[in-house]
Structures are given as structure tokens and as C-alpha cells.
Amino acid sequence: MVGGDARRKARGSRRWRARVAGLLSAVLVGAVVGVPATSTSSSGATLYVPWTIYLKGWTDQYVPSSANDCVAGRPPCLRQTLKELNRILELTGKSCSHNAVFALAYLRMTQGYGWSRDIPGYYQDVPFANHQDAVFARYYTDAYYHWRAGRRGKVPKAWLMAFDASDAKQLTGTGDLMLAMNAHINRDLAFVVAAVGLVAPDGSSRKRDYTKVEDFLARSAEPMMREAAARFDPTIDDANDPLGVLNGTVMQVISLWRENAWRNAERLVSARTAAERARVAASIEAQAESIGRTIRLGFARNALLSPTSTRDRYCRAHHTARAPEPYPFGTPRPYGL
């Protein structure tokens, strides 16, 4: 009997890996092919002053002489960025919102950035990397708080798709993660890179530091997936993939999306007129929405096999669990910094 259970579990694991790998492959194709150029969240509104308002002098443009630590890329900026991301993790994680999976992922990846920036020579321009990290985070935090407060007109459609699907509990935990990643990478990242700048003052490309980000992402991805499974949704880790095949596929998707974002940023910067830039921007929005629809369809939760009550009950019992394995930067607290 035990042997039969083990074989069934192994077959289930193989089927799960094959299904997820197939869905991610479809997402890869969607990113390559591309596309041509009402309700209120049940989470409720919250009184919130965006950090970019109370940090005087905020701008997406990198200005090393600015009095604003984040605009100038000074080290204290990262601490403020982490505090904002932890705030959203506490809001979503302690309430067992399905948006907590991405909130956890973003906080941990940003902590991974902090680890990487302290390695001598990892980045060619650390202050610029600090600034870009903060600007990228702002696109997410602003979208989240606008959505939470019901200001839907201020939320990009790719983010509306992600937040709404998680709020309605329509997706698996992996789907919640992938749909938010799509909004942040395929939609936000191109605008961020275009705003902060593709080249350094000496004319050299900033692509080298941009690509280096993927090194710490790859090292942090598996611990993050295991922590998300341990705290919020155990099905995220159902693959039981000792060879790291699934993790490699996810990173391949992220790498392709990031390359696509860089190319889209080049298109934005190269636009010769406001009308041309508007067309490029619209195509970026449309592509992110198209990929999002593919993810939403492919990772839809099966109400019979995966009832939300099971996931929510699990979260209530485990959301304060510690990460089961260390990250490159160590083993973090469930909440707080």
C-alpha cells in the first residue's frame, strides 16, 4: 500500500511539473510573439500616504546630487524600500489575502538585492542600482495602494488583472505569483528602465548591471517558492523537484521577460514624437495584458480539487512559519526586517 501511494504521488508530481512547464512554455511563446500595437476590492480601503510623497523631491530620474536618498541612490534608500514592501506583506499575509504570495516574493527578492549590492564589484554603479530598485518598487506599491483604496483608474490593467484575480481567489498560488510578476516585469519594467536611463553619463550601457540582477534572482527563487508554500499555499511546492527543472523554467521565463522589457524600454526612448511613444506604450500595456490572460486561464484554480477554504485554512495556521531554507542573505523573519 505504501509503495502504491508513493507511485501515485510520484505520478501526480510528474503530471504537475509537466502541466506547469507547459503553461510556462505557453507564456514564453506569448512573450516572444507579442501583440499589436467597476468593482471594489473586498480588502477595503486604507489610509495611506505613499512613500514617494513624504520623501521630498522624489523623481524617477537619477540625480546623484539630490537631497532625496532614493533619487540620489544613497544606501539608506534600500531600508525605506524594504519597509514599504514589508508593510504590504503584513497587510496581505496576516489577512491571508492571496496577494500575499507576490508580496512575499517581492520583499525577499529585494532583500536579495541588498545582499548583492554589498558584494564588491557585483554592480558597476551601486547608487544607480539603489535608485532603480526603489523606482521599480514604487510602481508596485503605488499600484497596490491605488487598487486597495478603490482608485481603479490609477491602476494599470495588467495589475488590475493580477490583484482582482487574487482577491477573487481564482488562481493557484503559482498563478497568483506569475500573474503579478507579469504585470511588474512585462508592464512596469520597461517604463522604469526608460525613465531611469539606459546609459551612464559616460555613454556606456547600463545593461551589464541590469543583467546581473538575474544572478541573485536565480539564487533566491527556490528558497522563496519553498517559503511561500510553507506559509501560504502548499501546492506551490507540489512539484517536489529535486533537480530544479521547474525552478529553471521559471527563471527562463523571468530572463526572457526582462530582456523583452529592456527592448521595450529602448523603443520608448527611441520614439521620435509623443504620438510614437504613446503607440509604443500602448503596445507594452497590450502585451502584458495578453500574457496575463494566458496565465489567468492556465493557472485557474480547480474548485473541486483545490477549494479556497483549504488554502485559507492552511494560511491561517502557517503564515507565521519561518522560511524552511536560507536565502543567500540568511533566514529572514516571517514579518519585519
Q: pLDDT digit string (tens) for 56-90? A: 678 899 999 999 999 999 999 999 999 999 999 99
Percent of the chain past pLDDT 90, that is, above it, reads 71
Task: Report if residue 334 sits inside a domain.
Answer: no
- Supply the pTM of this predicted model: 0.84
Task: Report if residue 313 sits inside a domain.
Answer: yes
Least confident of 12-16, 173-177, 196-200, 262-266: 12-16
C-alpha–C-alpha distance, residues 14 and 297, integer Å? 21
Give residues with Cβ within 8 angstroms of 41, minimum separation 6: 147, 148, 150, 163, 164, 167
Mean pLDDT of 281-297: 96
pLDDT bracket for residue 280 (50, 70, 90):
very high
Mean pLDDT of 204-229: 94
Res. 49: pLDDT tops 80: no
Mean pLDDT of the chain: 85
C-alpha–C-alpha distance, residues 262 and 190, integer Å? 6
Residue 199 pairs with which residues in a beta bridge? 205
Res. 48: pLDDT tops 80: no
pLDDT bracket for residue 249 (50, 70, 90):
confident
Between 235 and 45, residue with greater pLDDT: 235
Q: For 300, phi and psi rounded to 5 degrees?
A: -60, 140
C-alpha–C-alpha distance, residues 23 and 174, integer Å? 11
> Given this model, what pLDDT does residue 160 score?
98
> Given this model, what pLDDT does residue 35 score?
39
- Report residue 81 as a C-alpha cell: 524600500
Task: Report if residue 327 sits inside a domain.
Answer: no
Task: Report if residue 323 sits inside a domain.
Answer: no
Res. 53: pLDDT tops 70: no
Task: Report if residue 257 sits inside a domain.
Answer: yes
Least confident of 11-20, 124-133, 142-151, 247-256: 11-20
- Angstrom CA distances, 120 to 116, 123, 125, stand at 9, 8, 11
Mean pLDDT of 36-45: 37
Mean pLDDT of 191-196: 97
Q: Which of 31-45, 148-162, 238-252 has the highest mean pLDDT?
A: 148-162
> Given this model, what pLDDT does residue 55 score?
56
Task: Report if residue 337 sits inside a domain.
Answer: no
> Given this model, what pLDDT does residue 242 score?
44
Task: Report if residue 242 sits inside a domain.
Answer: yes
> Given this model, what pLDDT does residue 302 score?
78
Count: domains in the chain: 1
pLDDT bracket for residue 252 (50, 70, 90):
confident
Res. 11: pLDDT tops 60: no
Containing structural domain, residue 138: 2-318
> Given this model, what pLDDT does residue 20 score?
52
Percent of the chain past pLDDT 70, that is, above it, reads 79
pLDDT bracket for residue 301 (50, 70, 90):
confident
Task: Report if residue 324 sits inside a domain.
Answer: no
